Structure 1
């Protein structure tokens, strides 16, 4: 197949960990690579956010097309909606200039879907939609802190009506689509996120700590990902204080992420607030802000930790728990969204209420007192990650969805596939001539 992935603010080439660079970037990059390895032609359309970027970059055989929509600078995603008409015009023009039509467009995030609708209708290309986050759910949890306009809700409702398939990343995502958007359940497919088996695998704890310079005599708690308020990192800091003071556990919290390689309160303002929380709780010297790290280094941080913790207020899916599980580490996560799907409570880790540092501290104390429990949970998580959440498995599920909406039989030989594609082109040309 020829597949277009649209990801307007989340480039697959970006370094994850920044305010607007996280799970969606990783998702698009890995799905694109896996589909390319399966033999498909894959293009990723993302907004040009730097002046010196080429028109098209290569990523392991995937074309990454930098769309000129808005100023060629990095901008918060909340400011990008006015530039989506320009994005849509470019995407449609690109589709029309291609000698071979796209079999399917897979849009990621609501603005990508808005941009893709024009090409869907003009070129009669099936549209698969993954929201990654739903505006109405975001507003429920963030209230006035939500920087997107109310216009987002109507756009998402239109996309729910007009997309050929809506991908939900977990059962909670599917339930939210039904409750808040009245989606037709027959057009929803649950396909989760994943992890890269080449990036993440178990590593001896002592070796990882030696590489990172962490002491061996501490209970190391890891928080890794974007450093923004809704991720609930302050909850982890407060739980650390309770763990040290009430349970007398020699625990240390490492926070990996941010907008710069060195922890920078100007580049990442949330660090300043979290440092204030740590000082208020009396644990400032027991919290280390590491800064942003490249993908190749993350395995060392997961490997060095005794436990990975993530307690956001809400989480549409959450890739970091999968990465920790793939490194055979127990996960304590908030009982919300995709985390409640990926983490099996009391088997691969623990689920706790968000914004409840006491509940989190109790579970941390349980793991600190029983290292064998953490080891068992880590092994169970490793098995679950490989069984359910590899990117190869995710891409295979998406490929089946694409084939269905494009009406391409799964067992169609390549020669027949080319013949069917040629017929499709001829039908499209006749239809276009008729409209003229």
Structure 2
């Protein structure tokens, strides 16, 4: 018997983060179908203005009711702030309609969001996590964060996929580059550690390393160009903009290493993409990096906000290309062993079967 699962997450042109996760799930429809799971999608819009709030109430809510009626399980992909409030409102509707529900957290900053929130929000978070039928975290540290809210069963860990990198990396043509470069892919923000990366590279250039950083992602590019120029790196920090498909794979494969010194990171899809492309990783000792990177084996993990430690880790890989290549090969094997799309889909299917079986036994 087919289990009908409604995936609920961002749409309406939103990029990155959970939107990328849902895109990967949509591309895995055939494998879900072979396992007896029919997936459909409901797109939510961001709360950028009053018009979005009205559209959520007047358009999204009725559409969600119609989509939920046809589903057996409703899977909510949740982050903090607006994402949390939208998904909680829809969760209440799904429960009133008698549907089984799955809560999946994609935010590495959720614990701080709840700590800084008002009492009502903390109460809603507890209800959402404890009363849903299954809770999924994208990494082990995030699961530990959620477990103290979960009084019934354990939080499940299901990582993310990187389909393009997993299947397309061997055929991508590397970028031509005159000097070795460090690849960074993500939002252009302090939270992703871009400031520490720029300072670390400035330190290494002063020490005679001929390197540059290539940045793929969206954000306030002009601001970061000014910051790079202030460190004397105007010609050594190259902003590529948003990349996808073969262009993104070529971006990874042309690099010496991948660096993402995030201040918090729930999983790190870009890190997994880089691993599938054979790159060693320099990241921070937190969140999803702890599941992805074997410190000292497939890359290096440093403390957050530590530009000096970051510089030393990068230096080890820049100065010894063969060492960097060996680490990248180990990371590729780890990605293929632990994070293949087929095994990730199987974990989702197991969760849905347990939830659906429990629901049928209670009826």
TM-score (norm: length of structure 2): 0.87
Whether 1:232 and 2:193 are equivalent positions in the alignment is: yes
* Residue 151 (structure 2) pairs with residue 154 (structure 1): no
Q: Judging changes above 3 Å, is the alpha-carbon distance between structure 1 residues 343 and 117 closer, same or farther for their aligned structure 2 residues?
A: same
Q: Following TM superposition, by how much is the alpha carbon of 1:30 offset from its aligned partner in structure 2, in angstroms?
A: 1.2
Which has the greater radius of gyration?
Answer: 1
CA distance in 1, matches of 2:329, 2:53: 44
What is the alpha-carbon distance in structure 2 between the residues aligned to residue 114 and residue 78 of structure 1? 19
Partner of 1:302: 252
Deviation, 1:202, is: 4.2
Q: CA shift at 1:155, angstroms? A: 2.9
Aligned partner of 2:210 among 234, 246, 250? 250
Contact 1:203–1:327 (CA under 8 A) maintained in structure 2: no
Partner of 2:268: 318
- In 2, distance between residues paired with 1:334 and 1:191? 21
User: Per-residue displacement from partner, 1:243-271 (whole Å, max 9, x unpaired)?
Assistant: 1112x11001101111xxxxxxxxx32x2
Partner of 2:65: 92
8 Å CA contact 1:329, 1:381 repeated in 2: yes
Q: CA RMSD in A?
A: 2.9
Q: Distance in 2 between matches of 1:183 and 1:113?
A: 18
**Take 1:80 and 1:185, find their aligned partners in 2: how far apart are those partners?**
35
Is residue 116 from structure 1 mapped to residue 116 from structure 2 by the alignment?
no
Whether 1:28 aligns to 2:22 is yes
Are 1:402 and 2:352 matched, yes or no?
A: yes
> Structure 1: 5+ residue runs without aligned partners?
15-19, 50-73, 259-267, 410-419, 428-436
Measure how far apart 1:152 and its partner are. Answer: 4.3
TM-score using structure 1 length? 0.73
After TM superposition, the structure 1 = structure 2 runs for residues 26-425 of structure 1, keeping only pairs within 5 Å, are 26-39=20-33, 40-47=37-44, 76=48, 85-86=57-58, 87-96=60-69, 101-109=70-78, 110-133=84-107, 136-139=110-113, 152-179=121-148, 182-184=149-151, 186-196=153-163, 199-202=167-170, 207-210=173-176, 214-215=177-178, 218-246=179-207, 248-258=208-218, 268-269=219-220, 271-407=221-357
Q: Distance in 2 between matches of 1:134 and 1:286?
A: 30
The one-character-per-residue Cα deviations of 1:389-410 (angstroms, maximum 9, x if unpaired) are 122211110110000010089x
User: Distance in 1 between the 2:269 and 2:183 partners?
Assistant: 15
1:84-142: CA deviation from partner (whole Å, max 9, x where unpaired): 5553443123333xxxx42211111124531432343233211011121266524389x
Q: CA deviation at 1:36?
A: 3.5
Q: Which runs of 5+ in 2 are unaligned?
A: 79-83
Go from structure 1 to structure 2 and tell me whether the alpha carbon gap of 1:244 and 1:388 turns closer, same or farther (over 3 Å shift). Answer: same
Residue-pair matches, total: 351
How far residue 310 of structure 1 moved from its aligned partner, in angstroms, is 0.1
Shift of 1:83: 6.0
2:42 match: secondary structure: strand
How many Å separate the matches in 2 of 1:77 and 1:381? 43
**More moved, 188-197 vs 114-123:** 114-123
